[in-house]
Chain A
Amino acid sequence: MDSESPAVVDCARCGAKLRAAAQFCARCGARTAPAEEPAGTDSASPPNQGWVPEPVQSLYRWDELRAVGWLYGLLLLTSLICGLAYSVDPDGDFGFWMTLVDAVVILSFAARYRAETVSLLHPSTFGFHALKMLSIAAAVQFIALGAVFYLLEKTGLPFERITDEMQRHDYSLWQLLTLYSLAPAVFEEIAFRGVIFGRLRQVLGDREGWLVQAAFFSVLHLSPVIFPTHFAMGLIFGWLRMRTGSLLPGMVLHAAWNAANIVLELYQ
């Protein structure tokens, strides 16, 4: 009689046939033989023993990504339509209408996730801690990114000037600040740090969601030269959102940055 040949046995947990010399069940992962482990370790409770795979929720996660795709796509579409309109009529005033359409799109997405958005916009989230974080972020943004833009301008790289819009359409300073400082700050923060980051962090987690929302933010500005700087801005605004649990500090910093650029252009 051949006592050396392994006997075919079933897994004690799932009942699957075990292979010869198998240490683990290939179907459920339960250990079949005692592990050769150093003394002191608990060989009676192997890593996979008792572990049952949870049902996957990829459909739910796909829905989250689809919402991000729709918002990103609609914002791109309004940019495309506005850009095409400018190429047809360079003197046309499409900035206001584009802001309006973007606002409607973003607010409709915010309404879909209203519980989340309202909690991020609640005034109680903007306390002393948020103020402290805002100060740190503002210092980094104005010093580091200000220096980068200063160096870029020194190379002679021509940037589009916001104040050219004043020249084209006879905007007052207040109109300019509302349209190019306040409105982008409010709506972009709701879109990127609110809706998009909220969805992405559920799929990717905090760190990867933070990186991806910053990338989307920079890409949607549709100017490759400023991808890196706007990616950094997206990271700073996202950091504020994570640290404070509020969109308000990001809105303040965003609006301040835009306003500072407009004022600087006027004084240059």
Chain B
Amino acid sequence: MRESGLIVVACQGGSGLSFGTATMPRPPPWDDNNKISEGAPMSKIEWRVDNGTHIVVRNPTFSRRKVELNGQPVDGEWDAKRFDFKLADGRAADIELKSDGLSRQTELRVAGKLIPDARFVPKDLRCPACKAEIQLLDEFCSKCGHELGAPERFVYQGSVQGATSAIRLLAALFAIFGVIMFFVMGDQTDAALKNLSQFEDHEILQPIDGVTYTAGELRTRVVWEHRGVLIVNLMLSAIMLVLAWWSRWKALPAILIATAIYVAVQVVSAIVDPQTIAQGIIIKVVVIAVLVKGIKGALSLRTENG
């Protein structure tokens, strides 16, 4: 049997079954039937606020930034990266350029509400309950009264979808890595078993890491080390697939668990082979950033829905 001590097992990581370091590219933005999957170029960002309001910010490389409302340039001045203007119906709007160490964002607010840009919003907006046509700024369906939430929900949904795609990709990578490593390690295992074949099962061998094994025990370990790579990676792949499926209903707990597993896998890989700490570090950071963004998005959606 096996005890359940964190301390014990964690310290044994160096001699336990190993698993692979998964690396993956950043997932594409939310891709649904009626979504725009290609990101808007940084030089042009557009918002479809409602049927009669289409706003575009153009940022040409060698000239001044321009704001267009329904194809017409808007008069006004940029003041500390902020542009205030009024829509045709008199609603106050502002565009603000925000940046931190990692990213730049251009935010549009209409009557104080953050409006997600066209990358995040489906072209054909429908009420999820009755399928009636709705507008981006609607917080309730005007036909059935279904609560829709604030417009920024589309940004959060995009983050959650990105995290779910990352989990699916991790599932695929674990499976592929497991199969490849199983075949790559085959020769090493055969060589080790060939060396051990000169000993009888009951013969006691030199201690390894301070522990004494019989030849039979060591043979079993070598065989299981080989099978273990495949079993562990397929198991991780299956867990990730289940989490990706579960995230359709319960995004927050699913992404939390997937993140915890991914980070733990990196730690185990680092213990087994310290060189893996530096391998693909940027991609690892990107994966974790996508997952954390998904957690934040799922948390905001959950909070919004009570």
Distance of A80 Cα from B13 Cα, bound (Å):
9
Chain A residues with CB under 8 A of B299: 58, 61-62, 65, 203
Q: Which residues of B contact A225 (CB under 8 A)?
A: 17, 228, 231-232, 235
- Residue pair B7, A98 in contact (C-beta under 8 Å): yes
Contacting pair A23 B145 (CB below 8 A): yes
Within 8 A of A (CB), among B119-158: 134-135, 137-145, 147
Q: Is A91 an interface residue (CB 8 A)?
A: yes
Q: CB distance A181 to B3 under 8 Å? A: yes
Q: Does A222 lie within 8 Å of B13, measured CB to CB?
A: yes
Q: Which A residues touch B19, using CB under 8 A?
A: 224
Give the residue name and chain of the B residue nearest to A54 (CB): B306
Query: Which parts of B1-50 form the interface with A (CB within 8 Å)?
Result: 1-17, 19
Interface of A toward B, CB cutoff 8 Å: 18-19, 22-29, 31, 46-48, 53-54, 56-58, 61-62, 65, 72-73, 75-76, 78-80, 82-84, 86-87, 90-91, 94-95, 98-99, 102, 146, 149-150, 153, 156-160, 162, 164-165, 167-168, 179-181, 183-184, 188, 203-204, 208, 211-212, 215-216, 219-227, 229-230, 233, 254, 257-258, 260-262, 264-265
Q: Which residues from A are CB-within-8-Å of B13?
A: 79, 83, 86, 222-223
Q: Is the CB of B142 within 8 A of A26?
A: yes
Given the interface contacts A158-B220, A221-B10, does A56 sit within 8 Å of B304 by beta carbon?
Answer: yes
What residues of chain B lie closer than 8 Å to A48, measured between beta carbons? 140, 145, 147
Contacting pair B141 A84 (CB below 8 A): no
25 A-B residue pairs with Cβ-Cβ distance under 8 Å, sorted by A, are A25-B140, A26-B137, A27-B140, A29-B147, A48-B147, A58-B299, A62-B299, A76-B263, A76-B264, A79-B271, A84-B274, A87-B271, A102-B6, A150-B1, A156-B223, A160-B9, A184-B5, A184-B8, A208-B253, A212-B253, A212-B257, A215-B260, A215-B261, A221-B9, A226-B9
Residues of B within 8 A of A265 (CB): 1
Tell me whether A86 and B3 are in contact in the complex, defined as CB-CB below 8 angstroms, given that A164-B211, A216-B260 are known contacts: no
Cα A24 to Cα B236 with chains together (Å) = 48
Residues A56 and B3 in contact in the complex (CB < 8 Å), given A25-B142, A83-B11, A222-B9? no
Task: Tell me how far the C-beta of B135 lies from the nearest C-beta in chain A, rounded to whole angstroms.
Answer: 7
Query: A56-B303, A65-B299, A160-B12 given as contacts; is B144 within 8 A of A24 (CB)?
Result: yes
Q: Are A86 and B270 in contact (CB under 8 A)?
A: no
Residues of chain A with a CB closer than 8 A to B264's CB: 76, 219-220, 222
Residue of A nearest to B271 (CB): A83
Most buried by A among B4, B140, B228, B252: B4
Question: Which of B5, B15, B231, B299 has most chain A Cβ within 10 Å?
Answer: B5
Q: Is B71 an interface residue (CB 8 A)?
A: no
Whether A158 contacts B14 by the Cβ 8 Å rule is no
| B239 in contact (CB, < 8 A) | yes
Beta-carbon contact of B3 and A261 below 8 Å: yes
A95 touches B7 (CB 8 A): yes
Residues of B within 8 A of A (CB): 1-17, 19, 134-135, 137-145, 147, 209-212, 217, 220-221, 223-224, 228, 231-232, 235-236, 239, 250, 252-253, 256-257, 260-261, 263-264, 267-268, 270-271, 274, 295-296, 299-300, 303-304, 306
Q: Which residues of A contact B252 (CB under 8 A)?
A: 203-204, 208
Lowest 3 CB-CB distances: which A-B pairs, in order?
Answer: A83-B271, A79-B10, A184-B5
Q: Which residue of A lies closest to B221 (CB)?
A: A158
CB distance from A221 to the nearest CB of B (A): 4
- Asked if A24 contacts B10 (CB within 8 A), the reply is no
Kindly report which residue of chain B lies nearest to residue A32, judged by CB atoms. B142
A223 and B260 within 8 A (CB): no
Most buried by A among B2, B209, B296, B299: B2
Q: B273 to nearest A CB, angstroms?
A: 9
Set of chain A residues within 8 Å of B4, measured between Cβ atoms? 184, 188, 221, 230, 233, 254, 257-258
Q: Are B253 and A204 in contact (CB under 8 A)?
A: yes
Which residues of B sit under 8 angstroms from A65, Cβ to Cβ?
256, 295, 299
Tell me whether B8 and A29 are in contact (CB under 8 A): no
Q: When chains A and B are docked, how far (Å) is the Cα of A224 from the Cα of B16?
A: 10
Verify A90–B210 contact, CB threshold 8 A: yes
Asked if B1 contacts A264 (CB within 8 A), the reply is yes
Rounded to whole Å, the gap between the CB of A88 and the closest CB of chain B is: 9
Known: A58-B300, A86-B13, A102-B7. 4 other contacts (CB 8 A): A46-B145, A83-B267, A167-B212, A208-B252
